[in-house]
Structure 1
Amino acid sequence: MKKNKRALLAIMLVLSMLLAACGSGGGQASGDGEGESIKLGFTLALTGNFAFMGEGVKEGVELFFEENDYKIGDRPVELFFEDDAGDPQKALKNYQQLTLNQEVDFLGGGTIGSISYALTEAAEKDKRVPIINVVGSGNSLSWGDKSDYVWRIGFSSLNYAGTLGVDMAENIGKKAVVIASDYVAGHEQATDFSANFKEHGGEVLDILWAPSGTSDFSSYINQIKQHDADAVFMFIPGADGPRFVQQFKEFGLAKNYALVDGGSVLNAPSTVEAVGDAVVNGYTLSHYHVGLENELNKKFVDDYTKKYDKVPDNYVINGYDTAKVISESIQKAGSTEVGDIIETLKAGLSFDSPRGPIELDPKTNHPIQNHYILKGAEKDGEIVFELVRTYEKVQMPAEDPGYEKAK
């Protein structure tokens, strides 16, 4: 009888231990997902007019995770890349596919501004995943259209064009003609450059709008020639930009006007290669420069060059730092739950990057970072951009400054 009681007690003890273990396992799976893969999705322009941007971001993401053994902490990482060809509708389809079918934990996207706005609207409505805006520069993404679910790693129109407006007035000349692509980002850049240029004593003589897809800029160039300007400020992204720069030189404007680019052409090696010596003595601005003297950048350039046999640009660093933000926020949160990650980002995230120190500002969901003024030059038979000035800790204002719209 005693033996039977002992056997019964032993069985009950084993059963209770098994039940406790099952309960504990269930809790872990629904909480931090220990041991499970972390799924990261990206909708990028990998074909079409903006493919060089999307490809750069993709390469940066892959380089970061290759350096980190495709892990975040102890958990393996799976990457899913979808091509949206710069089309907002395709990007939204990719967003649905990645968040619903693949059930990704984090998403990156927004090669152009219209896609960034579309993804932000979807994220705010669905609240499924946090999103890193990889390139899109729309100002309102930090103001009226700001969402807790979307954080920018690149730059804004105001930061780029506004800084160039100040720098041009103080260092290049006081009279300018503006030419920009006739869409949202072009209008923002023209507005922000003009306002800051004027605030620092500059005069805008004319503003010209070129539709996307323009191949012949001769009529615009003839209008520029009518003005006694010191410089031409341009913002013409995609394949149109190199065509304008080439024609700017071919029609002789480079002899009489300094070309100042709002980050649309002259800061990407792929587009600089396309226009050659037409960029010599041209100015641009970037949040990254391949020649930055810091140990992280030296390693970054070395690793990237070995892998891709070319030098990195600002789109590559955007992808690299997108991966860094994703990794850091998940590790700090100790979770892939969307609410935990959002709270971690809102509490503030800062780190050192190859581009310099970065702090994500929760007032604007925009990085506080250095901006670099670059000038084209020919050196040892190669076209390079030399760092001429640095603006440290450039910050997006928390509210719209209300500039008069460029017309």
Structure 2
Amino acid sequence: MLALRAIRPPSGMPPCSAASMSWNSGWPRTPEQDKWGPNLPWPVSPAGQREIHRIASALAAAGHPPEALQAAVMRQLARQDRALIAGIAAYRRHPFARDMPEPPAIWREGGSRLLDYGGDGSPLLVVPSLVNRAHVLDLLPGHSMLRWLAGRGHRVLLLDWGWPEEVERGFTLTDYIAGRLERALGAMPAGRVALLGYCMGGLLALATALRRPERLQGLALLATPWDFHAGGVDAASRAAALAALLPGLEPGLEATGALSVDLIQSLFAGIDPWALAAKFRAFAALPQDSPRARLFVALEDWLNDGVPLAAPVAREVLAGWYGRNDPGQGRWRVAGGVVEPAALRIPAFAAIPRGDRIVPPASALALARALPDAHQEMVAAGHIGMAAGSRAEAALWQPLDAWLQRLGR
């Protein structure tokens, strides 16, 4: 597996490694590689396989010997490497720094805070994932779903989980859901609340909605997985491969009480390793003072600023969600009770990004279809672009706002 992570050094700090890469030679070879013989000790993407086939066919038609393919492929890779390095260098020297005013906190517990984005309407509690910084939903002017929703009249509050310290590193999913999240819900303004969960946060929000329906008027789920084996044999195999990593991760989990940010990044990188290099090549071609370049850097900075995952939660997620598919099989329990979507008695909104590589659409659709009263919104975007991309307002924010407005009436 090829994994790449580019880090921008903080201001005034010495530069760190521009990228870290690792590879192994245990990847299957294409028929063209077997025939023409290039020894490539890294995986070849489907697009790369097509390019090798194209080069091989052209060389064969011109009467060149098989060994010519090795040189031709290496020349093509060298050109791509130059573009990749240019993109990483451009990212590292980009002057952008996020500067958004922080909203006031109306509640705190441990490292967690309830941040108040204002608004005059019915309260909306937003629950992000445990493994990323919450500010992807408040990224930049014009790219802040939370400020946009507050401007539309919703009273928006964000549960920022914060960095897991010693206490949180012993937390299970039950501790986060039946403990911290429910206490944050109790600190919300008076009145029935709409609960919104993004990605992993959607699973936490669903479990809370089933436990505290009397406090809620609706549940919105954005790119929330449910059936971790949905999407065919490949999806089930990827989930099983993630679960199989757990024994090798145990020494680090035991030593630190958490799954580290670097390991979490590696797991995400493994979903589509070729896309990581492609995005930096594309970034190199952008005008560096353009809004698109600024948004790229803001998102990349956010991606690189992750949060460790408490060891007990990491075990539940890898073994229970990905390995046994407990949610999809109706076996996931919180505080002893099964999390059963069919038992939800409030309206739901389920946004499923069509281009999601992190949560396959089939996994999120399985949850939407299991809910008794759910509006399904198929979003023309990816997992992150849906929430903070250049087309997020039209693709997701507006349909979500319309549903929340109807819910308030």
Under a length normalisation based on structure 1, what TM-score does the superposition of the two structures give? 0.33
Q: Which structure is larger by alpha-carbon Rg, 1 or 2?
A: 1
- Choose between structure 1 and 2: higher strand proportion: 1
Greater relative contact order (CA < 8 Å, ≥ 6 in sequence)? 2
